[in-house]
A = this chain, B = another copy of it.
């Protein structure tokens, strides 16, 4: 895996440049823009240029600390590749992962100028980083950006509520089934015309420890539960860090508690 930013040449092939650096970032933004649902949607070419010139792209290796709980919130990130884990901890080390942020998601909101959570890369992660004052300025200049951010946070809040239902009221089996189904959404191919894969694949780049800390379980219970689902032929492990869901309907039944087992 290359850990240096990819050369912009592959993106700008066949186009003329204006300013080297900015144009490279702009191309990157234009690519981003095609993936719907992100912060940069419907923001217009001028907006994208402003975003491109205010941000820097970074590539972070697995296990990098991006944000520490309680630190001054200096940066705002938009993830373009890879997976980031967000978490809160207790003094004795117990940890709760509050979410995994995949490409298209932002990261770095603050309460009273301080981050209220920690964030660490799960695998190799590409981000656009903004300095906070510049991002604030962009928010004021680009009403679409503000609106997109509002929509994005609203989605996050809804996800958080769903996760609270999981943590507070679901069994281990229901939790794991919900988790696996949730990990299929993110990796949808950009084309709309292909029919949905009847046996979707869950992207699981994180360790058992991370899954356990996300579901409020121990690693042993996670492992046992995944083994049980495999034994029942509802899922099957594929190559690198992926799990194929053989029976999405059955898994959905389990995830929503509509099953005896």
Q: Does any Cβ of B come within 8 Å of A209's Cβ?
A: no
Interface positions, chain A 82-139, Cβ under 8 Å from B, are 86, 88-92, 94-96, 98, 109-111, 116-117
Assess whether B111 is in contact with A154, with CB atoms less than 8 Å apart. Answer: yes
A contacts with B, residue count (CB < 8 A): 42
Interface positions, chain A 150-184, Cβ under 8 Å from B, are 150, 153-158, 160-165, 167-170
Assess whether B111 is in contact with A165, with CB atoms less than 8 Å apart. Answer: no
Question: Which listed residue, B109, B160, B167, touches A168 by the CB 8 Å rule?
Answer: B167
Q: How far is the CA of A228 from the CA of B91 in the complex (A)?
A: 24
Provided the pairs A165-B90, A216-B168 are in contact, do residues A157 and B155 lie with their beta carbons within 8 angstroms? no
Residues in chain B near residue A162, CB distance under 8 A: 88, 116
Interface positions, chain A 186-215, Cβ under 8 Å from B, are 213, 215
Assess whether A90 is in contact with B158, with CB atoms less than 8 Å apart. Answer: no
Q: Does any Cβ of B come within 8 Å of A258's Cβ?
A: yes
Q: How far is the CA of A154 from the CA of B168 in the complex (A)?
A: 22
Residues in chain B near residue A116, CB distance under 8 A: 158, 161-162
Question: Which listed residue, B95, B98, B110, B150, touches A153 by the CB 8 Å rule?
Answer: B150
Q: How far is the CA of A92 from the CA of B169 in the complex (A)?
A: 11
Assess whether B109 is in contact with A169, with CB atoms less than 8 Å apart. Answer: no
Closest to A216 in B: B168
Provided the pairs A96-B169, A146-B146, A169-B90 are in contact, do residues A160 and B164 lie with their beta carbons within 8 angstroms? yes
Which A positions have Cβ atoms within 8 angstroms of B? 86, 88-92, 94-96, 98, 109-111, 116-117, 140, 143, 146, 149-150, 153-158, 160-165, 167-170, 213, 215-216, 256-258
What are 21 pairs between A and B in contact, CB < 8 Å?
A: A86-B161, A88-B161, A89-B165, A90-B165, A90-B170, A90-B257, A91-B257, A92-B257, A92-B258, A94-B169, A95-B169, A96-B164, A110-B154, A111-B154, A146-B146, A149-B150, A153-B157, A157-B160, A160-B164, A164-B164, A167-B167
